[in-house]
Chains A and B, each alone.
Chain A
Amino acid sequence: MNFDPRFSGRNFTSVGTRPIRPDGVDKVTGRARYGADFNMAGQLVGRVLRSPHAHATIRKIDTSKAEKLPGVKAVITSTDLPDLTDGDSAMYDILDNCMARKKALYDGHAVAAVAAVDARTARQALKLIEVDYEVLPHVTDVDEAMKHSAPVLNDTIFTEGVEEKPTKPSNVTKRTQYGHGDVHEGFGQADFIVERSFKTEQTHQGYIEPHACVASVSSDGTADLWVCTQGHFVYRQHCAQLLGMEASKLRVTSSEIGGGFGGKTHVWAEPVALALSRKAGRPVKLVMARDEVFRASGPTSATSIDVRIGARKDGTITAAEATLRYSCGPYAGMWAELGAMTAFACYKLDNVKTVGYEVLVNRPKTAAYRAPSAPMAAFAVESAVDELAKEIGMDPVEFRIRNAAQEGTRSSYGPVYGPIGIGPTLEAAKNHPHMKAPLGKNQGRGMACGFWFNFGGQTCTDLNIGMDGSVSLAVGTVDVGGSRASLSLVAAEELGIAYEQVKAVVADTSSLGYNDMTDGSRGTFSSSMATISAARNAIKILRERAAQMWDIPVDDVVWEKGHAIAKGEKYGNLAALSLKEIAAASGKTGGPIAGHSELVADGAGVSFATHICDIEVDPETGATRVLRYTVVQDAGKAVHPTYVEGQYQGGAAQGIGWALNEEYIYGKDGRLQNPGFLDYRIPVCSDLPMIDTQILEIPNPNHPYGVRGVGETSIVPPLAAIANAVSNAAGVRMTHIPMSPPRILAAIEAERGG
């Protein structure tokens, strides 16, 4: 890569404007094609048989009756997806999650699948598959799973990261620790100490579009996969590895995506669909039903967190400590570790210590969910911070400003910060009219801060200039939040042409080099960097072609505002050549004009936000109403401010649902009781006020335009901001998320009784 990513401080023409999104009309008229909207001639219907048990040994699976049913074209079990992971434990876990091997590890774990001529036949076939289970004791609660008496899910796992080498297997896969200084000494200096324990229940990302794909494997071994995903190149790698294929022989096309939020970052049903197609010799469409989405995909961790923070009378925090226990589902993860890294990242602390425990439970495999693990840690820490401010008698915003991390602060996860935006978001919140608005009876205001890392990654982009001067931009990062519009703006900015001249598409895996998936808030950050690089490469060729047309040295040609200009008085009579004119002549000056870029976009820069919210609590029922909500966040540079605002609002809306309603509820039998949107209630428009946003622009020094990722941080503060608002409204500290009406009522009644 020969590309300088440093911030250049330029003035913008296109970037920062708000054109209508190019995919908007298709989406609102129903023309946009999502995962389930694609069909192939002769395609079969795929269906998956799932374990009804939370924990069971699979003694035997008899598929013979299903195979004999007329209309059934293929039946598969784990034997059709043999272990080709070659010691890659993370991939083995993904494989086992796609199709259980020796044990079913949660209610909903796939154990077999069929492909049939229609849905009715497929459903009948599932009923004919006989699975002989030996039901085992199960555990679904994160604290219960850590006890010595808990059933052990995987007897090959011994806790990593502990001083004494364990002699017995455990559900605790790993202990991690972060921090610096001496917390014991720090607490000794404190005049006030707040110590609390918190719990958050498991939630689903709640994407409206279920997992869906169409797989077609040809007899020559090549294959096509049409799929709803956050990363089609990653899906290609996963599927190729799990099915023993060469990646180049599998072409994966990403559909429009109806939400992912981290839940579509690794494969679930796609290897199953490919294995069915390979066996049946026909294309197979596999679409998860909603209950399958809840039971067998997605969710974030349930958590149990202890926090202790001490401060002097003057409001200086002297020590902060947290122990974080996160559920991982039945497979090892780094979820508690991310909580441990992010918990105190907003603050300047001399003495800080966090310890994380990764805990296996009989629940679905935990997946990333928008700034994974940070919202729960922020809930616990920001609740305790609020309480501590109250004890000291300080305004909660002033208390946070006094202790906020700044450039040069050693972060709680280790490195020293460069320029960061936590201080400015707090100052903006302090001065926001929302903070001064009056509150009524039973109403409370809360605020909280949040942090997320953001990252970049491998990125490849093509920019092709047509002979009519229009520009096609082919990117490899799936558009989850309007990035095609943002990247078109960036191409227009760099080339000096109108936004309308650029059309961005997400190219399939056979058309571009590898791209990491759209996660870590990287879509616009990374692909804009690659687009700038590709456009600059195209401009180099445009200058060369203009030089040919004028028959002058290329060094005498500069590119300004979409035109080649011959510089110097000797060329005074040469009229500028537009991109369109150069493109029209391209057939006679060397052929097509294109710019290509492949790079690793690193240096994304950390991100901070501060949220404010007002809540009304009905003390008779515990019901809540969100009255007002404000998001303040640093975007570096908002390429398309409307979509940045959309990300802020979307994160807040998801956080509101998580804080107030959403919750996986398991019965004593270990089965999920509420796998549908009627019983697992995400917020709808009528539940929410208009979410106000304030974009701060503190340029990222590691991006030419100063761009930072904006997609994830907005979900970090809401749990805490809402908990602080509810606690202030109800007059009792809420320590358990979600704060559903029964939980709030119980807390109010306990306070009254106490």
Chain B
Amino acid sequence: MVEVTLWGSLGAVAGGKSKVEIEAKDIRELFRKLAEQYPGFEPYIDRGIAVAIDGVIYRDTWSKELPQGAEIFLLPRLAGG
């Protein structure tokens, strides 16, 4: 079970929660379970969500494991120049 912190507008689609607890071993499973539990997540996942694991931001490595006790923070997918 990992605790996942959501950014502001993402919290709105999780019923106003800023944190949710999910049983997930990696980013792929996390996104799948979030979409199952909160259907409003899907368009955000399609648009792109980055996952910060202990401060390191992952945009595409969906196989990245979510260590127990790690700080998991969801962020919008970033644009660069």
Chain A interface (Cβ within 8 Å of chain B)?
90, 160-161, 174, 176-178, 205, 261-263, 265, 334, 337-338, 341, 368-372, 411, 413-418, 453-458, 519-522, 600, 602-606, 702, 712
Q: Are B59 and A457 in touch, CB under 8 angstroms?
A: yes
**Size bracket, chain B contacts:** 20 to 34
Chain B window 38-59, contacts with chain A (Cβ cutoff 8 Å), 1 for yes, 0 for no:
0000000001001010111111
Instruction: Given A415-B52, A600-B61, answer yes or no on A455-B73 (Cβ-Cβ < 8 Å).
Output: no
Q: How many angstroms from the CA of A605 to the CA of B55 in the assembled complex?
A: 9
Contact of B78 among A265, A338, A416 (CB under 8 A): A338
Q: How many angstroms from the CA of A458 to the CA of B58 in the assembled complex?
A: 12
What's the nearest-Cβ distance from chain A to residue B22, in Å? 17
Q: How many angstroms from the CA of A160 to the CA of B10 in the assembled complex?
A: 11
Instruction: Given A177-B8, A600-B61, A602-B61, answer yes or no on A416-B54 (Cβ-Cβ < 8 Å).
Output: yes
Q: How many angstroms from the CA of A371 to the CA of B71 in the assembled complex?
A: 25
Contact of A416 among B55, B60, B76, B81 (CB under 8 A): B55
Could you name 8 residue pairs across A and B whose Cβ atoms are closer than 8 Å? A161-B9, A338-B79, A369-B81, A372-B80, A416-B55, A418-B55, A455-B80, A712-B81
| A contact residues around B79 at 8 Å (CB) | 334, 338, 368, 372, 519-520
Q: Are A600 and B60 in touch, CB under 8 angstroms?
A: yes
Contact of A262 among B47, B76, B81 (CB under 8 A): B81
| A contact residues around B57 at 8 Å (CB) | 415, 453, 455, 602-604, 606
What's the nearest-Cβ distance from chain B to residue A618, in Å? 33
Q: How many angstroms from the CA of A176 to the CA of B44 in the assembled complex?
A: 14
Q: Are B78 and A370 in touch, CB under 8 angstroms?
A: no
Chain B interface (Cβ within 8 Å of chain A)?
5, 7-9, 12, 47, 50, 52, 54-61, 64, 71, 73, 75-76, 78-81
| B contact residues around A160 at 8 Å (CB) | 9
For the complex of A and B, list the 9 residue pairs with the smallest distance between their C-beta atoms, beginning with the closest.
A262-B81, A520-B80, A415-B52, A368-B81, A519-B80, A415-B73, A370-B81, A418-B55, A177-B8
Q: Are B55 and A261 in touch, CB under 8 angstroms?
A: no
Q: Are A712 and B7 in touch, CB under 8 angstroms?
A: no
Q: How many angstroms from the CA of A418 to the CA of B8 in the assembled complex?
A: 23
| B contact residues around A341 at 8 Å (CB) | 75
Q: Are A413 and B75 in touch, CB under 8 angstroms?
A: yes
Task: Beyond A416-B71, A453-B78, A606-B57, list 11 extra A-B contacts (CB 8 Å).
Answer: A90-B47, A161-B12, A176-B9, A338-B79, A368-B79, A371-B81, A415-B52, A457-B60, A519-B80, A602-B59, A603-B58
Q: Are A520 and B78 in touch, CB under 8 angstroms?
A: yes
| B contact residues around A369 at 8 Å (CB) | 81
Contact of A522 among B7, B12, B55, B80 (CB under 8 A): B80
What's the nearest-Cβ distance from chain A to residue B53, in Å? 8
Q: Are A176 and B8 in touch, CB under 8 angstroms?
A: yes
Q: Are A414 and B81 in touch, CB under 8 angstroms?
A: no
| B contact residues around A455 at 8 Å (CB) | 50, 57, 59, 78, 80
| A contact residues around B8 at 8 Å (CB) | 161, 176-178
| A contact residues around B47 at 8 Å (CB) | 90
| B contact residues around A205 at 8 Å (CB) | 81
| A contact residues around B76 at 8 Å (CB) | 334, 337
| B contact residues around A261 at 8 Å (CB) | 81
Q: How many angstroms from the CA of A456 to the CA of B57 in the assembled complex?
A: 10
| B contact residues around A712 at 8 Å (CB) | 80-81
Q: Are A414 and B60 in touch, CB under 8 angstroms?
A: no
Contact of A602 among B7, B55, B60 (CB under 8 A): B60
What's the nearest-Cβ distance from chain A to residue B8, in Å? 4
| A contact residues around B81 at 8 Å (CB) | 205, 261-263, 265, 368-372, 519-520, 712
Q: Are A418 and B61 in touch, CB under 8 angstroms?
A: no
| B contact residues around A411 at 8 Å (CB) | 55
What's the nearest-Cβ distance from chain B to residue A538, in Å? 24
What's the nearest-Cβ distance from chain A to residue B51, in Å? 9
What's the nearest-Cβ distance from chain A to residue B14, in Å? 14
What's the nearest-Cβ distance from chain A to residue B78, in Å? 5
Q: How many angstroms from the CA of A361 to the CA of B60 in the assembled complex?
A: 32
